[in-house]
Structure 1
């Protein structure tokens, strides 16, 4: 009777080769089921769409490209198969554990160990390098889309997931709205030309969360995010502002000098009593020591923050590349011997 009960509990009709085990999650993206592939004895995750739409077709096309290039060997989720449903195609993936967002939430957003941050960033840079070499922009990098293979085992193994909004580099169109608002890169907000560097920006935002347990920029509007970016990182260079289609939405030009609009200018009917965050600059993060007298940790934390600064360069042309992340001292653990 148990198999009948499990089948009855399944919210979707499955091909006969799959046995429903449980629902893993539900959201605007669809519903994910944990299933057993009876032919291979492999446990898999199957994502069912909530409605018919282009995003499912786009994701499948991108996943097929990634599979053909064998990019699952580079810390990218393994795509197994797809099959039709009444709402569009369901997608079969390798089964992973929990997202980095859920992991941090389980820990009440406590700052992560530098060693864990290093492991995760190294793997994501590996994924980014493979995507860049194949002209793919993910466009939706965030803690939710970095999945842990086993959150109890160290060193952590993670994989980049969710290619529903991914685009080919040649499809990048100026003025297109991409990325969640809080993770939106300066070039997207300003309406400038963009590249794979927008993914490095969002990984930097995620790294900031790993370091201190909060978002670097908070707000529900692009104006609030741009104010936060300027407060923490400084104003974009004039040549960047001059090339932005939306620059005048956020900045005023007086006597050939660009100045960011105040909160009151952006929202005349609202009041604002504090800054977006407590930090004056990213260098303030270097003081967030877990062990005050540990000289090695002090050096590693400084290198960690220096890497973060390189990832969050306001000017995309100066932002660090995946290849250079992989050779950064924080990743290679190249630091002076403090015992001398």
Structure 2
């Protein structure tokens, strides 16, 4: 840090290019060995941040830079801590992180910690391999729907804690209502519309689970995977 003509200045290491810029120039997915090198360095960085009690909150391709790709291929550094927080001071009930790499606990209003950075890194590593984003990012509903389809639904305890869960989930009907609804579907006069046993097994009366439903103000649609480049 130094002063120049009355300005307080800070000198930073001159780095090469972001992973996003490199990927655009490269034009094809990363090899597993290359991803391994990036993953190892990023995990070292996230481990150090955890030790310091800091959450980056904005881990994305734009914020991972190649140091000097010609001299040191795939040596990277995590940059841009403008949105970082002390982990114990992470704001609650606030939605942040780009939806492409947003941890589900942010969308659902669940307790959050430095684990949100690990989720973001997982999204990025899969994107480098697939050359497309793993989860839709057009809206929160589709994003959650595909996460749940691929990885399963959060435990009921977590859903009970989330302050924004009601925007995306509804609890199953109470026992009597749910029972009557199932029986009604089983006693449909038109046999072609009568509930199938396999579908009946998934009915709330049987599963006693909450269900992902259309979120308010959002459209239900399947978003196609989108190339990173």
Q: Normalising by structure 2, what TM-score?
A: 0.75
- Unaligned stretches of 5+ in structure 1? 1-80, 279-340
Q: Is 1:179–2:131 an aligned residue pair?
A: no
Following superposition of structure 1 onto structure 2, how do residues 135-146 of structure 1 map, counting pairs within 5 Å? Answer: 135-146=53-64
Distance 1:196 1:271, change over 3 A: closer
The Cα of 1:239 is off from its aligned counterpart by: 1.2
Q: Which has the higher strand share?
A: 1
Unaligned runs of 5+ in 2: 174-207
| Deviations 1:36-73 (CA, angstroms, capped at 9, x unpaired) | xxxxxxxxxxxxxxxxxxxxxxxxxxxxxxxxxxxxxx
How many equivalent pairs are there? 192
Hey, what does 2:168 align to over in structure 1?
Answer: 250
In structure 2, the partner of 1:158 is: 76
Q: Are the counterparts in 2 of residues 173 and 193 from structure 1 also a CA contact under 8 Å? A: no
The verdict on how the C-alpha distance between 1:102 and 1:83 changes in structure 2, with shifts beyond 3 A counting, is: farther
Q: Tell me the alpha carbon deviations over residues 213-248 of structure 1, each in whole angstroms, 9 at most, x when there is no partner.
A: 111112232222212211222211211111100001
Instruction: Specify the alignment match of 1:102 in structure 2.
Output: 21
Do the aligned residues in 2 keep the contact of 1:223 with 1:266 (CA within 8 Å)?
Answer: no
What residue is the counterpart of 1:201 in the other structure? 119
Give the Cα separation in 1 of the matches to 2:52 and 2:39. Answer: 20
> What residue in structure 2 maps to residue 233 of structure 1?
151
Question: Which structure is richer in relative contact order (CA contacts within 8 A, separation 6 or more)?
Answer: 2
Are 1:260 and 2:212 matched, yes or no? yes
Give the SS at the match of 2:210. Answer: strand
Structure with bigger gyration radius: 2
Stretch moving more, 230-239 or 134-143: 230-239
SS in 1 for 2:65: strand
Aligned-residue offset at 1:154: 5.0
Aligned pairs (5 A) from 1:1-340: 81=1, 91-108=10-27, 110-153=28-71, 155-255=73-173, 256-262=208-214, 266=216, 270=219, 272=221, 274=222, 276-277=224-225
Q: Is the alpha carbon distance of 1:97 and 1:259 closer, same or farther for their aligned partners in structure 2, counting shifts above 3 Å?
A: same
Inter-partner Cα distance in structure 2 for 1:261 and 1:153: 51
CA deviation after TM superposition for structure 1 residue 152, in Å: 3.1
Secondary structure, in 3 states, of the residue corresponding to 1:254?
coil
Q: 1:217–1:276: 8 Å Cα contact kept in structure 2? A: no
Structure 2: how far apart are the matches of 1:85 and 1:257? 65
